[in-house]
Structure 1
Amino acid sequence: MASIFGHTILGGTIAALLLPERRHARWWAVAAACAFLPDADAIGYKLGVAYESLWGHRGLTHSLLAAVAVASLLALLSRMLPSRSAPPSGRLWLLLFLATASHGVLDAATTGGLGVAFFSPFDLERYFFPLRPIKVSPIGIRAFFSSWGLRVLASEALWVALPCMLLLVLRAGLVKRASEARKA
């Protein structure tokens, strides 16, 4: 798996790109949380759930169906908020879906594990991408604060944080250019 840092950086970046107005900053945090939410399945290790099972790590919680369910539930709950504070429903749903689904995308680009069950529960096969440049993160806090964890962070800085930063800088440049064009 990618680390919580890589997942939250990508989720937050997706949010800043889709809902760039500062008034939606709380949704940036929600998207970042959605991006690491699928790893809640790691509790299965303590409960004796087999890694390769439907409920095992990188199983159902990492699927596209789970991303649809999370996005749908949170978008529905957002309707209880005052209308001024909630973004447009369709855009919010897309953000929450992409943020949650991004988890499996990053995990499928890592160097370890059994792959991601993107199509669970309909297809239990686990998938990796052909290019897997992200170092797999250790599970557990103690193991993360080691040389292994540092290698993971360096890998994610290159393959996750840098592209996210470039996208945000590019977007800021495009917004500035559009604003200058309107003034001219």
Structure 2
Amino acid sequence: MASIFGHGLVAFTTSKIIDYKSSKLLLFLAIGSAILPDIDVLAFKFGIPYAHPLGHRGFTHSILFALIWCILLSLLFGKTRKWVFAIVMFLSILSHGILDAMTSGGKGVGFFIPFENSRYFFPFRAIRVSPIGFEQFFSEWGIRVIVSELKYIGLPCFIVLIMVFIIKKRSMSKKKV
């Protein structure tokens, strides 16, 4: 899996692309939603194996879970612009599985669970897989993960955010004219 930092950064970037003046609530829920799928690591504590549909990178990483979660949050919190809210939530949570499918480890992502239980990776798998567990993250392995994520997640997000900022700035200055 990518780390919570990589997942959170993609959700932040997604929210700024879709809704540049994202509310704090939207940003908080987008980032939290992007991290949420890894709640499935608790399955290990209950003896659920990795490859099980409810195991790691299983149902909580699926497209159906992303859809259910975005609808739930949109109904609960998307007061005025439910569609914008729903799109940000859906893309934020879906981005989790997409990033995990680009990592160097694991057994793939169950995008289509519960309809089909296969696990998938993308051809591009340059993001170093993050360790599961807090103490292992602060090791040489964790440092390699952070460097990898800076290169393959942080830099692209930074470029996109700069472009969004420039585009918004130009459109605001044209409105003043």
- Scaled by the length of structure 2, the TM-score of the pair is 0.96
Q: Secondary structure, in 3 states, of the residue corresponding to 2:29?
A: helix
User: 2 CA distance for matches of 1:74 and 1:4?
Assistant: 20
2:101 is the alignment partner of 1:130: no
After TM superposition, give the deviation of residue 46 of structure 1 in Å.
1.3
Count residues with an aligned counterpart. Answer: 177
Tell me the equivalent position of 1:6.
Answer: 6
Q: Structure 2 regions of 5+ residues with no counterpart?
A: none
Deviation per residue, 1:62-94 (Å, 9 max, x gap):
000000010011111125xxxxxx351111111
Give 4+ residue runs of structure 1 displaced > 6 Å after superposition.
Answer: none
After TM superposition, give the deviation of residue 55 of structure 1 in Å.
0.6
Q: Structure 1 regions of 5+ residues with no counterpart?
A: 80-85
Tell me the equivalent position of 1:33.
Answer: 32
Deviation per residue, 1:117-158 (Å, 9 max, x gap):
000010100000001110000100011110000000000011
2:173 is the alignment partner of 1:180: yes
Q: Percent identity?
A: 42
Tell me the equivalent position of 1:83.
Answer: none
Q: Secondary structure, in 3 states, of the residue corresponding to 2:114?
A: coil
2:14 is the alignment partner of 1:21: no
Tell me the equivalent position of 2:49.
Answer: 50
User: 2 CA distance for matches of 1:177 and 1:106?
Assistant: 31
After TM superposition, give the deviation of residue 17 of structure 1 in Å.
1.7
Deviation per residue, 1:44-72 (Å, 9 max, x gap):
11111100001100001100000001001
Structure 1 vs Structure 2 CA RMSD: 1.1
User: 1 CA distance for matches of 2:116 and 2:141?
Assistant: 32
Q: Tell me the amino acid that sits aligned with residue 34 of structure 1.
A: S
